[in-house]
């Protein structure tokens, strides 16, 4: 028995650990460091219809226990991703989750339709929560009606299950989750970054050229856990949890909160081997905690009986 | 090959006010070849600070499996680094990036190496490698004041060396570009690392006629090309989306290739 | 000239640094460590009409770069605060900002009316943002209309200026700030804590008895700065900034973002002498940064010319 | 008087698996009087970890300005603490709280000191002070296993000492309460520190007839009474709002005073 396997809509994962979108590019750099087939899945960088340069630099700033980024969805565009990046990834035995972004509904729909046809794309992650682009992005992720409508439109055209990525910059995360559930989402990924900023004392100006940016890393872990805890109790969709995960212990904490799989973002920058390390350490930690199968502990913090993971066959 | 290794501090000393020379020992030295590459340093094990710090490789001592970093204490990360003692272990990722192309000059050619402040360190390894190749090296190094000068003797042993200081307290007063002009220094290829205004001046003055290679800096996260934090724009940019990642495509670029 | 003096509605401060509400009790404990007259002001613990025991323990949990608390507004009640705590504080030459809390509008109104009559209370801080009480608290702080109405009612009865304390757990902080400005607020204090949680790996249960709690400390600094940056550009009220402040550098960063004074919370637990230390270090740091008078740098990150501080005579 | 001081590590050793004895030197030792008080330890300078850790004072060596802490490595804070070497400085806030009332017993009386696991340390200083006063001390100390036992000899030098282990691998098998009952230990006053179930059992068994003082634990933030993190309910609570702060009103309370 593989104690780490997880079954989610569209995704048969050999383990529940995957790099988060935007923190792993399209995998090429990390493939020089380890075999990408070790990963549960890969969430590739956001893809938009046209190539994007993104924001001016500086694009990152450090904060206590975290970092800000304002990359601005830099990516080579739909065509190149489909023709170059995804085929290159086929050499690895790992399902791809394609992160879909845009400025208008039509953009999302076009990217979703095309990219979901690619063989190794097993699911979409609808990025309605990027705080770093002027139009679209976060607006879609903070107004329930808008999110629901977009989810519906994307579901109509997608050939694979659709996960919607929720923004933490809202008053009521459960309301948002319910809206996209009504829109037909197959799953949720959460959380994206919190809006933040740093100011340079010497210049008196924001450190980031974009002024504000998205806060990620360990600092946001308690916010992510709280939101997953709330949403998992109120919505019937599996959750891929993320936000500050650095260790096998963190992974279990996210499962206890209500996640059915996890993604690791910022920690890849601190330790590029963090994903395989976590995957390796999980079984031993599960032994110590008396966890038979990883899916058994989803939602343990609110459910006395281990919940049966969604879609576990 | 990018490696991740706990390297051992061999020696650590202050060579100018707030500027430290740190010699580390580790197997990854064997992968270090191009001068101008850098390593990504994790100065503490926890989350304080969270990110790694990029520092240029100043000297590669292959036979001992050692390499040298020279850095200025700037903020929290470098302050913590400055507290490391011989025998301590430091988590190093590297070597990273592409360095100065030493094959652009032939034996007998003259290479001009221009450094500004804390941009000086990578030029030392570069100069060593050029010399080994039989290239004549001339150094023009700019510092703020007399006290800030470091490695002058080391450079002098490799070739002619001019020092410029902002306040004229040592060497010649003024910019490195003034020195090059006033001294009418002739060269076949120019390599430089230092503050952007200096690099711009060099590009403008010599970028059209000569081979000019510049080492750039930007705030980084991953250091390996995956996060798109450290991009710079390219000179030719037909669809407004061309870019290079300083960490993995650079940090050294041909001057005409990139926008400064 | 006192380079640190700040003039705000109701408050003539000898310096802009004060302990944040809930992190300093009513000052008795810290008075054994240093002379409270050194402080710019003191924000006392939330006061409610009746005494409250608060939540069950554990009430605090550590997080990366921060902490969670779910104290639950424990306090001795209005009567005791007026008869014992505030008179005791009169021995110090320091203005008091009374933090007003409650479950219903009437509670807030009663506390505000009575406590604002006390001699050394120079301003009220309307706590519409406490995440740790079941009724009232945060609801008042996340719905603009509710916040506005409460502000208005409290303004009607208060004998001193009213600062409203904003919750970061909202989609649009500017909208909230504008609402309480319309309600007649004299100033803002921000931010209160972000909702978060931690789970104990051994038990599988939330660490806090209250399950979720409020995240404070350095981890939230970038969120606080961003919100102050946004609000200060869009609302005409002075802001007392807080959220992760630990050093004189942090104070300047908050001023640059748009604050006119600052409060220090969690850092008092790490270093109980942090407030006097910061006050002592500020002038030297200002010299280094070329700041003449502290009020000159309010909003420097978005205003080319130093803004004239509100109410500077 | 609460002080904040950088104390110097004099000695640091593992006295049982994961249990360390740390001897510190500092002026604030002169303010330490009551056994059962604690200090609030900042194990690292930055934000990782952020909060201080409360640790009981196990031994006060006034003439040398030294005091001893005995702690078990639990999580991140105590792990970092375990890495401190002689000569290192540690930021200590203390002494904090109110300790065991030694004046509740008269010379010639018998005091029973009951400790469980990592609750044992403060009883050592208590025992020393009681002995100095001419009080007869009996110790009943519970540990998980034989390996976990520490300070047995030290306690034996002060008075009769019984050890209980959960697994019977050393001393008597079972709970400390069993030992007291089986041995029919007579005493005038009982002092205890350890896990809540043990304290409850002692309160139930002896709280009505005897003087019983218990040292409590709770997660703390400030450690000085200002944040209300560490409250416990009182036995008499007319308006459902009575409480004590463990850090400043305790950590030691008369058993009948507080709800466990
Ligand atoms: C390719 C490369 C090579 C470098 N080589 C050297 C060298 O050999 N010697 C040397 O002294 N310095 C070098 N630097 C600059 C060095 O990385 C920064 O001085 C250092 O990161 C500052 O860290 P800190 O914690 O002290 O400062 P902080 O201001 O506390 O750092 C905060 C954040 O900003 C980043 N940062 C701050 N300044 C810079 C900067 N100038 N460039 C990039 N990131 C920055 C830090 O990495 C960190 O993420 C190099 C930078 C790059 C990009
Ligand atoms: C008054 C008092 C005296 C104490 N004396 C001793 C002693 O002499 N020797 C000893 O080994 N331990 C003692 N403890 C327990 C000790 O404080 C904890 O073991 C320690 O804080 C754990 O820190 P950590 O970073 O290793 O664990 P982590 O689990 O990483 O700590 C996370 C957070 O929880 C808190 N925490 C975790 N466990 C406890 C606990 N049992 N009690 C209070 N807070 C906790 C930590 O302080 C920290 O804020 C005492 C506790 C109190 C309240
Ligand atoms: C540099 C960077 C780039 C990111 N780019 C994207 C992106 O393109 N699409 C997306 O949905 N999320 C993006 N994110 C958000 C992450 O996927 C993740 O949701 C967030 O960082 C929280 O996880 P972490 O704390 O583990 O980093 C990015 C995050 C970082 C730090
Ligand atoms: C233990 C604790 C108790 C608090 N109690 C209150 C309170 O009673 N009223 C209130 O308005 N804010 C309260 N706060 C919030 C703080 O005043 C402050 O807004 C917040 O902690 C952010 O600042 P910091 O990061 O400096 O702590 C409390 C915070 C903490 C940590
Ligand atoms: S730092 Fe990540 S791409 Fe260069
Ligand atoms: S820890 Fe703050 S009151 Fe006890």
Interface predicted TM-score (ipTM) of this complex, two decimals: 0.96
Q: Reply yes or no on whether the pLDDT at A137 is more than 60.
A: no
- Which CA distances in Å does A115 have to A92, A111, A118, A184, B239? 18, 6, 6, 19, 22
pLDDT at D160: 94
In which residue are the tokens 């383990």 written?
Answer: A15
Report which DSSP code applies to C41.
-
pLDDT > 90 in chain C, percent: 90
Residue A304 backbone phi and psi in degrees, to 5: -60, -45
Average pLDDT over residues C115-125: 98
Q: Is the CB of A193 under 6 A from ligand 3?
A: yes
Alpha-carbon span A20 to A30, nearest angstrom? 13
Residue of C nearest to D241 (CA): C53
- Give tens-digit pLDDT for C1-39: 799 999 999 999 999 999 999 999 999 999 999 999 999
pLDDT at A156: 97
> B66, B85, B81: which is closest to B18 by C-alpha?
B81
Gap from B76 CA to chain D (nearest CA, Å): 10
Active site residue A297: no
Chains that touch A (3 or more CB pairs under 8 A): B, C, D
**Cβ atoms within 10 Å, residue B10:** 18
Gap from C142 CA to chain A (nearest CA, Å): 7
Q: Is the CB of D143 under 6 A from ligand 2?
A: no
Contact A125, A166 (CB under 8 A): no
Find chain A residues with C-beta within 8 A of B230's C-beta: 57, 59
pLDDT at A312: 35
Residue to substitute in D38, D41, D68, D77 for testing ligand 2 pocket (most ligand atoms within 8 angstroms of CB)? D77
Q: Does B186 touch chain D (CB under 8 A)?
A: no
Residue of D nearest to B47 (CA): D48
Give residue C134's pLDDT band: very low, low, confident or very high (50, 70, 90): low
Helices (H), ranges, C61-137? 78-80, 86-89, 105-115
Gap from B26 CA to chain D (nearest CA, Å): 24
pLDDT at A313: 32
Chains that touch B (3 or more CB pairs under 8 A): A, C, D
Q: How far is the CA of B55 from the centre of ligand 1 (A)?
A: 7
Alpha-carbon span B11 to B61, nearest angstrom? 13
Q: Does B186 touch chain A (CB under 8 A)?
A: no
Tokens read off for D161: 């000492």
Helices (H), ranges, chain B? 76-81, 121-132, 152-156, 176-182, 196-206
Opening angle at CA A245, ends A32 and A197, nearest 5: 100
- Give tens-digit pLDDT for A283-302: 999 999 999 999 999 999 99
pLDDT at A307: 45
Gap from B108 CA to chain C (nearest CA, Å): 50
Alpha-carbon span C127 to C103, nearest angstrom? 11
In which residue are the tokens 């002026």 written?
Answer: D27
Give residue A132's pLDDT band: very low, low, confident or very high (50, 70, 90): low
Contact B190, B211 (CB under 8 A): yes
Tokens read off for A73: 């969805």
Residue of A nearest to C193 (CA): A223
Q: Which string of DSSP letters, residue by residue, matches chain A? A: --TT-EEETTEEESSSEEEPTTSSTTSHHHHTTS-GGGSS-EEPPPB-SS-B--PPSP-EEEETTEEEE-----B--HHHIIIIIHHHHTTSS--EEEEE--SSHHHHHHHHHHHTTSTTEEEEEEE---TT-SSSTHHHHH-HHHHHHHHHHHHHH-SS-EEEEPPS-SS-HHHHHHHHHHTT-SEEEE--PEEE--B-TTT-SBSBTTB-EEEESGGGHHHHHHHHHHHHHH--S-EEE-SS--SHHHHHHHHHHT-SEEEE-THHHH-TTHHHHHHHHHHHHHHHHT-SSGGGGTTTTT-SSPPPPTT--
Opening angle at CA D120, ends D114 and D123, nearest 5: 70
- Which CA distances in Å does B256 have to A226, B233, B252, B253? 51, 11, 12, 8
- Give tens-digit pLDDT for A66-83: 999 999 999 999 999 999
Contact C141, C128 (CB under 8 A): yes
pLDDT at C308: 41
pLDDT at B239: 78
Tokens read off for B247: 């960490």
Residue D180 backbone phi and psi in degrees, to 5: -60, -45
pLDDT at A141: 82
Which residue of C138, C139, C223 to mutate against A (max A Cβ within 10 Å)? C223
Average pLDDT over residues A104-115: 95
For residue B145, what is the enclosing H or E element? none
- Among protein residues, the one with the nearest Cα to ligand 6's atom 3 is D225
Q: Does B79 touch chain D (CB under 8 A)?
A: no
Q: Of A23, A130, A275, A297, which one is the catalytic site residue? A: A130
- Among protein residues, the one with the nearest Cα to ligand 4's atom 23 is C243
> D243, D137, D153: which is closest to D191 by C-alpha?
D137
Residue to substitute in B38, B226, B244, B253 for testing ligand 5 pocket (most ligand atoms within 8 angstroms of CB)? B226
Q: Does D234 touch chain C (CB under 8 A)?
A: no
- Among protein residues, the one with the nearest Cα to ligand 4's atom 10 is C21
CA dihedral for C195, C201, C203, C207, sign (positive or negative):
negative
Lowest mean pLDDT among A252-266, C21-35, C120-134, D115-129: C120-134
Tokens read off for C60: 């605090």
For residue D136, what is the enclosing H or E element? strand D136-143
- Among protein residues, the one with the nearest Cα to ligand 2's atom 29 is D75
Find chain C residues with C-beta within 8 A of D226's C-beta: 23-25, 28-30, 268
- Among protein residues, the one with the nearest Cα to ligand 3's atom 2 is A22
Contact C237, C186 (CB under 8 A): yes
Which residue of B39, B74, B77, B229 to mutate against A (max A Cβ within 10 Å)? B229
Q: How far is the CA of C211 from the centre of ligand 2 (A)?
A: 20
pLDDT at B1: 83
pLDDT at A310: 38
pLDDT at C142: 87
Per-residue pLDDT of chain B (260 residues; tens, 9 = 90+): 899 999 999 999 999 999 999 999 999 999 999 999 999 999 999 999 999 999 999 999 999 999 999 999 999 999 999 999 999 999 999 999 999 999 999 999 999 999 999 999 999 999 999 999 999 999 999 999 999 999 999 999 999 999 999 999 999 999 999 999 999 999 999 999 999 999 999 999 999 899 999 999 999 999 999 999 999 999 988 878 889 999 999 999 999 999 98
Q: Report residue B75 CA to chain centroid gap.
A: 19
Q: Does B234 touch chain D (CB under 8 A)?
A: no
Chains that touch C (3 or more CB pairs under 8 A): A, B, D
- Give tens-digit pLDDT for C75-92: 999 999 999 999 999 999
Q: How far is the CA of D54 from the centre of ligand 2 (A)?
A: 6
Contact C131, C54 (CB under 8 A): no
pLDDT at B237: 85
Contact A29 B93 (CB under 8 A): no
Report which DSSP code applies to C75.
B
Q: Reply yes or no on whether the pLDDT at C309 is more than 80.
A: no
Q: Is B195 exposed, middle or buried (0-12, 13-18, 19+ CB in 10 A)?
A: middle
Find chain C residues with C-beta within 8 A of B48's C-beta: 65
pLDDT at C38: 98
Find chain B residues with C-beta within 8 A of C65's C-beta: 47-48
Contacts of B63 (CB under 8 A, 6+ apart): none
Q: Reply yes or no on whether the pLDDT at D83 is more than 60.
A: yes
Q: Reply yes or no on whether the pLDDT at A247 is more than 60.
A: yes
Q: Reply yes or no on whether the pLDDT at C183 is more than 70.
A: yes
Determine the 3-state secondary structure of B189 from DSSP: strand
Q: Report residue B44 CA to chain centroid gap.
A: 23
Tokens read off for B62: 């292959």
- Give tens-digit pLDDT for D176-228: 999 999 999 999 999 999 999 999 999 999 999 999 999 999 999 999 999 99
Alpha-carbon span D127 to D159, nearest angstrom? 8
Ligand 5 shell residues, CB under 6 Å: B 220-223, 225-230, 245, 247
Determine the 3-state secondary structure of D203 from DSSP: helix
Find chain D residues with C-beta within 8 A of C133's C-beta: none
pLDDT at B233: 94
Q: Does D47 touch chain A (CB under 8 A)?
A: yes
Determine the 3-state secondary structure of B225 from DSSP: coil
Distance linking the first and last C-alpha atoms of chain B: 29
pLDDT at A135: 56
| Ligand 4 atom nearest residue D227's Cα | 1
Q: Reply yes or no on whether the pLDDT at A309 is more than 60.
A: no
- Give tens-digit pLDDT for C201-234: 999 999 999 999 999 999 999 999 999 999 999 9
In which residue are the tokens 């992974």 written?
Answer: A251
Q: Does B88 touch chain D (CB under 8 A)?
A: no
pLDDT at A177: 97
Alpha-carbon span A165 to A20, nearest angstrom? 11
pLDDT at C307: 45
Contacts of D258 (CB under 8 A, 6+ apart): D214, D216, D232, D233, D234, D235, D244
Which residue of D42, D48, D79, D85 to mutate against B (max B Cβ within 10 Å)? D48
Radius of gyration of chain D (CA): 18
- Among protein residues, the one with the nearest Cα to ligand 1's atom 6 is B55
Alpha-carbon span D62 to D32, nearest angstrom? 8
- Give tens-digit pLDDT for C261-305: 999 999 999 999 999 999 999 999 999 999 999 999 999 999 865
pLDDT at D81: 98
Gap from B46 CA to chain C (nearest CA, Å): 10
Q: Is the CB of C192 under 6 A from ligand 4?
A: yes
Contact C279, C37 (CB under 8 A): no
Determine the 3-state secondary structure of B155 from DSSP: helix
Q: Reply yes or no on whether the pLDDT at C135 is more than 80.
A: no
Contacts of A203 (CB under 8 A, 6+ apart): none
Average model confidence (pLDDT) across chain A: 93
Which residue of D44, D45, D46 to mutate against B (max B Cβ within 10 Å)? D46
| Ligand 3 atom nearest residue A221's Cα | 25
């Amino acid at each position: 028995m593989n104690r780490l396997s997880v079954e989610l809509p569209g995704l048969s994962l050999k383990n529940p650990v995957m790099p988060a979108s935007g923190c792993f590019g399209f995998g090429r750099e990390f493939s020089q460091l380890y075999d990408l087939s070790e990963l549960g899945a890969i969430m590739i960088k956001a893809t938009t219809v046209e190539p994007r340069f993104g924001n001016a630099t500086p694009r990152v700033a450090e904060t206590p226990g975290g970092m800000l980024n304002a990359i601005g969805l830099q990516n080579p565009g739909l065509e190149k991703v489909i023709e170059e990046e995804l085929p290159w990834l086929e050499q690895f035995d790992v399902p791809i989750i394609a992160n879909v972004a845009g400025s208008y509904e039509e953009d999302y729909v076009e990217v979703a339709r095309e990219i979901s046809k690619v063989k190794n794309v097993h699911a979409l992650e609808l990025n309605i929560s990027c705080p770093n682009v002027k139009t679209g992005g976060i607006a879609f992720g903070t107004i329930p009606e808008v999110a629901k409508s977009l989810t519906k439109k994307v579901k109509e055209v997608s050939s694979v299950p659709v996960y919607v990525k929720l923004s933490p910059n809202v008053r009521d995360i459960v309301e948002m989750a319910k809206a996209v559930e009504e829109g037909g989402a197959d799953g949720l990924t959460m959380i994206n970054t919190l809006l933040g900023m740093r100011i340079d004392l010497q210049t008196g100006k924001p450190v980031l050229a974009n002024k504000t940016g998205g806060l990620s890393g360990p600092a946001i872990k308690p916010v992510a856990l709280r939101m997953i805890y709330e949403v998992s109790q109120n919505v019937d969709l599996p959750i891929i949890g993320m936000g500050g995960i650095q260790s096998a212990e963190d992974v279990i904490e996210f499962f206890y909160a209500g996640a059915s799989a996890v993604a690791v973002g910022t920690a890849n920058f601190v330790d590029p081997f963090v994903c395989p390390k976590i995957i390796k350490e999980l079984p031993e930690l599960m032994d110590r905690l008396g966890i038979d199968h990883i899916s058994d502990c989803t939602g343990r913090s609110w459910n006395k009986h281990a919940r049966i993971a969604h879609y576990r066959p | 090959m990018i490696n991740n290794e706990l390297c051992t501090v061999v020696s650590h000393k202050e060579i100018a006010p707030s500027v430290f020379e740190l010699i580390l020992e580790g197997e990854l030295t064997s992968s270090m070849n191009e001068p101008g590459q850098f390593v990504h340093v994790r100065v503490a094990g926890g989350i304080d600070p969270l990110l790694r710090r990029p520092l240029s490789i100043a000297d590669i001592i292959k036979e001992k499996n050692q390499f040298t970093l020279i850095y200025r204490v700037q903020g929290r990360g470098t302050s913590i680094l400055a507290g490391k003692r011989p025998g301590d272990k430091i988590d190093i990722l590297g070597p990273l990036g592409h360095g100065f192309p030493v094959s652009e000059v032939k034996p007998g050619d003259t290479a001009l190496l221009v450094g500004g402040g804390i941009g000086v360190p990578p030029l030392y390894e570069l100069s060593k490698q050029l010399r080994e190749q039989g290239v004549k090296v001339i150094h023009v190094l700019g510092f703020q004041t007399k006290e800030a000068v470091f490695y002058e003797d080391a450079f002098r042993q490799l070739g002619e060396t001019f020092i410029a200081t902002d306040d004229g307290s040592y060497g010649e007063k003024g910019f490195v570009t003034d020195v090059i002009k006033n001294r009418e220094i002739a060269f076949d290829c120019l390599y430089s690392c230092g503050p952007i205004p200096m690099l711009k001046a060099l590009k403008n003055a010599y970028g059209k006629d000569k081979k000019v290679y510049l080492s750039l800096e930007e705030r980084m996260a991953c250091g390996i090309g995956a996060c798109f934090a450290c991009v710079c724009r390219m000179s030719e940019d037909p669809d407004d989306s061309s870019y290079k990642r300083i960490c993995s495509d650079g940090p050294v670029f041909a001057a005409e290739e990139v926008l400064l």
